[in-house]
Amino acid sequence: MKTELVIDLEAEKQEILKRYRALLRASKSTLQRGDKKEIRKAFDMALESHKDMRRKSGEPYIYHPIAVAQIAAEEIGLGTTSIVCALLHDVVEDTDITLEDIEREFGKKTAKIIDGLTKISGVFDTNSSLQAENFRKMLLTLADDVRVILIKLADRLHNMRTMDFMPRHKQLKIASETIYLYAPLAHRLGLYAIKSELEDLSMKYLDPDTYKFIAKKLNEKKAERALFIKKFVEPIDEIVHEQGLVADVYGRPKSIHSIWNKMKKKNIPFEEVYDLFAIRIILDSAPENEKADCWKAYSIVTDLYRPNPDRLRDWVSSPKGNGYESLHTTVMGPRGQWVEVQIRTQRMNEIAEKGFAAHWKYKESTNDNGLDQWIQKVREMLNNPEANALDFLDDFKMNLFSDEIFIFTPKGALIQLPLGATALDFAFEIHTDVGATCIGAKVNHKLVPISYKLQNGDQVEIITSNKQTPKEDWLNVVVTAKAKSKIKSSLKEEKRKIAENGKEILERKLKSLKITYNTDNLNKLSYFFKLPSTQELFVNVALGKIELKDIKEYLSSEKEIETRGPERPENLSVDGVKSKIKGSESDILLIGEDMQRIDYTLAACCNPIPGDDVFGFITVSEGIKIHRTNCPNAAQLMANYGYRVVKAKWNKQQELTFLTGLHIVGIDDVGLINNITRVISTDFKVNMRSITVDTNEGIFDGSIMIFVNDTEHLENLIKNLLKVRGVTGVTRFDA
């Protein structure tokens, strides 16, 4: 038995060396004199530190740091310092090695990056605001060294690739966090290949059925698609070379997640998604010919195939904020199907695939760097001392996901804003004072209100008045994080002044009633008037909402009021509910049990029914809410409030019914509604709560709310509804 173990360890040793050599090959292009020695030293230190550790899969732990270093070198294109840091990214946290040891061996810069990585490693934190704080800390390191974030993304990508051995609830939490924060961050840093893979891997765990369904469908049509791409590409290839351009032309499949997004957005089945792949033309051009060559290739493609005029995107003349440059057009292919074509040079392609790292390499050749501006914006947001970590995350997330529009100032300067930005956003983008005093704007010389949504290419002039101050409802008008944080801090400052005033008034009133002005009494008053804080109490007094007679009323009931300071019901209830669940047979909440010891309700945002994959979420005031794991809000809840999530599964049901919605489309025909309702009520004995129908020029569009027993019951009903003559599509929808 013993010898077998030795052979085993010997085989592992060989595998570790094999992986190490692969890492050296991947980093070859960036290696300089003495670098190999540094990498070897880091590898030896990591190997020694992690020698007795194993991953959940049973593999030696050292596989993980080697893999992270490999991703950093190969897929992001980072250099020796980053490879060393990736190899050592877990040693300070998990072993006896200190930052001082690392600084002594590898220098200050490496120690600083590893310190940054150690500070943000709280993946499994139980507390949500801690998780948000960690993310915020990670962004703070953007200001110091962007490599911290790039290595963190490599670390997250490897964890996502090897998550099969983790318990389901951890898979859900990590996948939610990835789709909610890390994938948008990769997108923002221009790492498109990594962003797509993170989204696909998240979907694999959050919505496994849909993921498998789309993967299977893509696989079935693989050969057919390859043939179509070959025929489409051949004539382009030929003419491109005739015209003296050096180019690589090929087809690239779209990611499963982006196909699913399209299906949801357009409410269409898989068969109707036409752009399952994109054609790429990668040109080998000298820097001074790049733009001309891209347009030359565009002209070749559009001579062969008719373009859709609404679908031309020119990011060569105006690159995206993350440095992305490319020409995108959609053309009509030979079989009457739309095909997306992306045209770019090798330099542009490297920036699109490897983002930041490639960007730095080519920095001299780009005059205007959107990424630098973006980092500047992140710093501004982080320097706002008022922001609550979770508010900050939501604002930041919004800024990460949005597409950009380009707006011109009256003097012709170009300003980038997220899609959906308003005139007020533009005002705050120019200067905080301009935003705070904005009363309107002139867009293309026409007067518009502050809430006007800007369009790409608008020229905007802001009109201000020194009598204007920020209002509460402005928060609904703006979309940029900068504008939101400035408005919030301005309102807080305003509130603080009112509260100061209210404090003096209250002090005088309490004195006249011979009540001592102290913290205890202020807390009692806040509790009596159901206010969340003493500041709110002062504000209400200043605004005249609480008068002397109200305080007298408090006095008369004082005898019945128990003395209590402000409590944090949220944590009490979360811990209480969790211990209640843990006290039952297992720590899983069984839904549909007879023993209704724990209150739960089904979330209206996704209407879960038995058979759906679900989790419980402890709310502040409404007990536990049951959500589907693929609910539109699930990723946000699990990423931000992981500590409030409880595992849940359906118990064997008695015949209970659950409300869900069906969307039915078809060709309007005599008796169609009658046939649909007959299948629902007679054949399936299902009760309907409501039905709304709209017919427009022969097209039938109906929404029906029905009560079903479980997912199987619902699927059978959908199958039978699709057999009704005239019905072309039936989909379940979330209320």
Tell me which amino acid residue 266 is. K
Point out the catalytic residue in the list 94, 101, 105, 558: 94
What lies within 8 Å, CB to CB, of 31 at 6+ separation is 80
* CA-to-CA separations, 539 to 53, 284, 526, in angstroms, rounded: 57, 66, 11
Nearest one of 107, 337, 366 to 224, comparing CA atoms: 337
Q: 27: which DSSP letter? A: T
Alpha-carbon gap, residue 6 to 318, rounded angstroms = 60
Q: Is 719 helix (H, G, I), strand (E, B) or coil?
A: helix
CB 259 within 8 A of CB 270: yes
* φ, ψ at 705 (rounded to 5°): -100, 125
Residue 448, strand partner residues: 441
What lies within 8 Å, CB to CB, of 418 at 6+ separation is 398, 399, 402, 403, 404, 405, 425, 479, 480
Alpha-carbon gap, residue 433 to 688, rounded angstroms = 56
Q: Please, what is the Cα angle at 501 between 495 and 506, to 5 degrees?
A: 115
> Would you state the torsion angle of the CA atoms of residues 368, 374, 379, 385, taken in this order, to the nearest 10 degrees?
140
Point out the catalytic residue in the list 8, 44, 93, 587: 93
What lies within 8 Å, CB to CB, of 486 at 6+ separation is 428, 432, 435, 436, 470
What lies within 8 Å, CB to CB, of 420 at 6+ separation is 402, 453, 479
Tokens of 339: 């095909």
Alpha-carbon gap, residue 257 to 557, rounded angstroms = 59
Q: Is 611 helix (H, G, I), strand (E, B) or coil?
A: coil
Q: Please, what is the Cα angle at 255 between 253 and 259, to 5 degrees?
A: 100
Alpha-carbon gap, residue 18 to 38, rounded angstroms = 18
Asked if 94 is an active-site residue, the reply is yes
Q: 164: which DSSP letter? A: T
Alpha helices in 643-688 (DSSP H): 672-678
Q: Look up tokens 């811990």; give the residue.
A: 575
DSSP string, 281-321: EEE---GGGHHHHHHHHHHHHHHHS-B-GGG-EETTTS--T
Q: Is the dihedral of CA 218, 219, 222, 223 positive or negative?
A: negative
Half-sphere exposure of 645 (CA within 13 A, CB side): 30
Alpha-carbon gap, residue 305 to 330, rounded angstroms = 9
Asked if 93 is an active-site residue, the reply is yes
Residue 416, strand partner residues: 406
Half-sphere exposure of 355 (CA within 13 A, CB side): 26
What lies within 8 Å, CB to CB, of 10 at 6+ separation is none
CB 326 within 8 A of CB 352: yes
Q: What is the 3-state secondary structure (H, E, C) of 497-509?
A: HHHHHHHHHHHHH
Nearest one of 444, 500, 435 to 469, comparing CA atoms: 435
Tokens of 731: 């989909």
346-354 and 192-206 helices, crossing angle to 10°: 40
Catalytic site positions? 93-94
